[in-house]
Amino acid sequence: MAEPMAAHVELGGEKEITLGVMGGGQLGRMFVHAAQRMGFFTAVLDPDAHSPAGRVSHHHIHTAYTDPDGLARLAQVAQAITTEFENVPAPALAELARSRPVAPAAACVAIAQDRAAEKAHFVRCGVPCAPYAVIETADQLAVVPANLLPGILKTTRMGYDGKGQARVRTHDELVQAWSAMQMVPCVLEKMLPLQLECSVIVARGADGTCVNLPLQRNLHRDGILAVTEVYAGNVPEALAQRAIAAARSIAQGLDYVGVLCVEFFVLDEADPAAQGLGGLVVNEMAPRPHNSGHYSMDACDLSQFDLQVRTLANLPLVQPRQHSPAIMLNLLGDLWPADGVPPWAQVLALPGTHLHLYGKLKASKGRKMGHLNITGSSIEAVRSTALHAAQILGIAAF
């Protein structure tokens, strides 16, 4: 990889300093906003001419992620390059890294793209994950241990928001599900009794400095994140500390540079299926900012996107401080009436609401259109406002 960007970037000087991002979705858009606020210029590579990030960036290169000309143009205009979604082909990042600092590195993104490689990394770091088996051949399918059932069959690559997954109770159902997935490489994970889900975002610099946001407690509905709650005591403190330590060691073990989100399951230990797993297991990681970290934009003195800018530009990393308890509600396209938009004015009339919309012109079911952060002086006040906002928007109570 090219050397990290000079630590003394002359922000505010005569020269334009441009940060590049592979991918033009909402995560790229919020990165661009954070970068621009600090005086950087930005460049987005995304094939979609109307991508949310491309529309607000100084430079927008619309080519495929693997297009050699597009990559060359990005490397020419941007002094350092990051990514906003994990399915950017790792070879494209490797190509960019020949001439520019790229964070996270292609090798780290490649591991996060592959559930089997990812789990092997967790095991290497001594962090337990759900018991699993890799299924790439009919022979491996035939010898899957019975104690992994009931389980969840997940494609090794390209899964997100619960896509590419099937829940199976018996070996017969497993055989059918794998066949329905065209026998692509998969992992079968034991179905665990979840008490709750949580995630930790860490940011690690090229010099090994590592900081983290507080632990996020997450509620998923239909495989998609619906609500994130972040306040002291959202999970028992000892558990939060274990998850934070695990996330840091996962980043460290990758010699990671950038923002990394690690998702965890907290298990219901009264259930026999949780036996021997120690109450906390890692689910997966995302080599980028994460939906569950969006509250940090309004509730912390550094957001996950500020951290991403700092890691990329080799600027100092300091431990972020959360200054307000927070709840984030995801705003999916489902909330949009057929002939209009949700009643924003009613929501914005509630104190402590922060509306973020991603500039997507078409709402559809399950599409992430924006999020609403709620902050306040106490978690009781935040919760009461969040429930009120949810009711106005048609989000089920939580």
Whole-number Å distance between alpha carbons of 378 and 385:
11
Check residue 162 for interaction with ligand ATP (CB under 6 A): yes
Contacts of 334 (CB under 8 A, 6+ apart): 365, 366
Q: How many residues bind ligand ATP (CB under 6 A)?
A: 18
How many other β-carbons are positioned within 10 Å of the β-carbon of residue 363? 17
State the nearest-atom distance from the C-beta of 263 to ligand ATP, in Å. 6
- Total Cβ atoms within 10 A of residue 282: 24
CA separation for the pair 249, 385 (Å, rounded): 36
Determine which residue in the list 67, 161, 173, 268 makes contact with ligand ATP, applying CB under 6 A.
161
Query: Which residue, 5 or 215, is less far from ligand ATP as judged by CB?
Result: 215
| Angle between helix 115-124 and helix 237-253 axes, rounded to 10 deg | 110
Q: Which of residues 105-144 bind ligand ATP (CB under 6 A)?
A: 130
Q: What is the dihedral of CA 188, 259, 362, 326, to 10 degrees?
A: 100
The SS3 of residue 66 is coil
Q: Which stretch binds ligand ATP (CB under 6 A): 33-41, 158-166, 174-182, 378-386?
A: 158-166
Rule CB under 6 A: say whether 220 interacts with ligand ATP.
Answer: yes
Q: Kindly tell me which residue out of 21, 30, 192, 299 binds ligand ATP, with binding defined by CB under 6 A.
A: 192
| Binding characters for ligand ATP, 71-110, by CB under 6 A (x = yes) | ----------------------------------------
Tell me the C-alpha distance between 274 and 266, whole Å: 10
CA distance 254 to 344: 42
Distance linking the first and last C-alpha atoms of the chain: 45
Q: How far is the CB of 7 from ligand ATP (least distance, A)?
A: 33
Cβ at position 115, least distance to ligand ATP in Å: 8
223 binds ligand ATP (CB under 6 A): yes
Q: Say if residue 68 is preceded by a cis peptide, omega within 30 of 0.
A: no
Asked whether position 194 contacts ligand ATP by CB under 6 A, the answer is: yes
List the one residue from 27, 96, 152, 203 that touches ligand ATP (CB under 6 A).
Answer: 152
Q: Which of 95, 114, 229, 284: binder of ligand ATP (CB under 6 A)? A: 284
Contact range with ligand ATP by CB under 6 A, out of 41-49, 56-64, 152-160, 246-254: 152-160
Contact characters 257-276, ligand ATP, x per CB under 6 A: ------x-------------
> What DSSP string describes 282-305?
EEEEESS--GGGTTHHHHBSS-HH
Give the bridge partners for 220, in sequence order. 225
Nearer to ligand ATP, 112 or 347 (CB): 112
> Is residue 13 helix, strand or coil?
coil
Q: Between residues 198 and 302, which has the closer beta carbon with respect to ligand ATP?
A: 198
Interacting residues toward ligand ATP by CB under 6 A: 130, 152, 154, 159-163, 189, 191-192, 194, 197, 220, 223, 263, 283-284
